[in-house]
Amino acid sequence: MTDDTATGAPALDIRSVAVELGGRLALNDIDLTVRSGELVGLIGPNGAGKTTLLRAVLGLLTPRSGTIRLEGQPVDRRRGTVGYVPQRHEFAWDFPLSVEKAVLTGRTHRIGWMRRPRHTDREAVREALERVSMTDLRRRPIGELSGGQRQRVLVARALSLRPKLLLLDEPFTGLDIPTQELLTTLFQQLREEDRALLMTTHDLPAAADMATRLCLLNKTVIADGAPETLRDPAVWLRAFGVTRSDQLLTSLGVTR
């Protein structure tokens, strides 16, 4: 498997990026690198710009300034190579699709519009369904799925691309414990396979436990480092825009 050492470039390299939304600066002076074998937790309050940053990486938003490179290439040259797991409400679950066909939509850019899937496309879907333990449900209509099953479909859809970089937007929100455990194990396996993962989450203790690095974001990068190095309470309070929050610090095991 090709990794950073072979290409000489990280899976994701963001330099001095600023993004405007509706004439307002949503992100400013963002520097972030994610390498193969890393799971980086993107942490911050609502409105901090986490989802905005993911959309910029996907090429859905154009930065006002700065650069975003995927394996050393501009985003527009690598479009369709990044796996993306959106929040569940962003997918049309009332659309009449089977699980298998929903996962296949993840490869639309590779297949091309109005073209039939090839053997390689169907094999990629089969592998992705197997990884999220959804093979037995492949013909079930997506509208009949539980919340946890729907999340597994979105993860499989992203994995059908066999991506080197996987973006995860709040992947654990509202999930039952078995599904959380399945996905946690899967994400760790992907990291061990030298994939690069960037994950937004509000579950701070879980992020600190499973991530190789944490990036604290509030419109700009407040801090970036291994979880065990981010022990300064002031850094967390600044990232979340509060002056005092014993509950926040206690949940992280950080003391004043």
**176: phi > 0 → left, psi -120 to 50 → alpha, else beta; which?**
beta
Q: How many CB atoms lie within 10 A of CB 239?
A: 22
Burial class (CB in 10 A: 0-12, 13-18, 19+), 82: buried
Sketch out the chain's domains with CATH numbers. 1-81+163-256 (3.40.50.300), 93-162 (no CATH)
With vertex at residue 192, the alpha carbon angle to CA 130 and CA 198, rounded to the nearest 5 degrees, is 85
Question: Tokens 């659309």 correspond to what residue?
Answer: 95
CB 208 within 8 A of CB 248: no
pLDDT at res. 246: 63
What Rg, from alpha-carbon coordinates, does the chain have? 18
- Cα 215 → chain centroid: 13
How confident is the prediction along the chain (256 residues), in pLDDT tens digits per residue? 334 444 568 999 999 999 999 889 999 999 999 999 999 999 999 999 999 999 999 999 999 999 999 999 998 877 778 999 999 888 889 999 999 999 999 987 776 666 788 899 999 999 999 999 999 999 999 999 999 999 999 999 999 999 999 999 999 998 999 999 999 999 999 999 999 999 999 888 889 899 999 999 999 999 999 999 988 888 888 898 877 666 666 666 666 5
The encoded tokens of residue 213 equal 């690095």
Instruction: Tell me the whole-structure pTM to 2 decimals.
Output: 0.90
**CA angle at residue 103 from 101 to 106, to 5 degrees?**
110
Q: In the numeric block, which tokens belong to residue 147?
A: 């919340």
Residue 253: predicted pLDDT: 64
The token duo for 206 is 């879980």
Angle at 194 between CA 67 and CA 33, to 5 degrees: 25
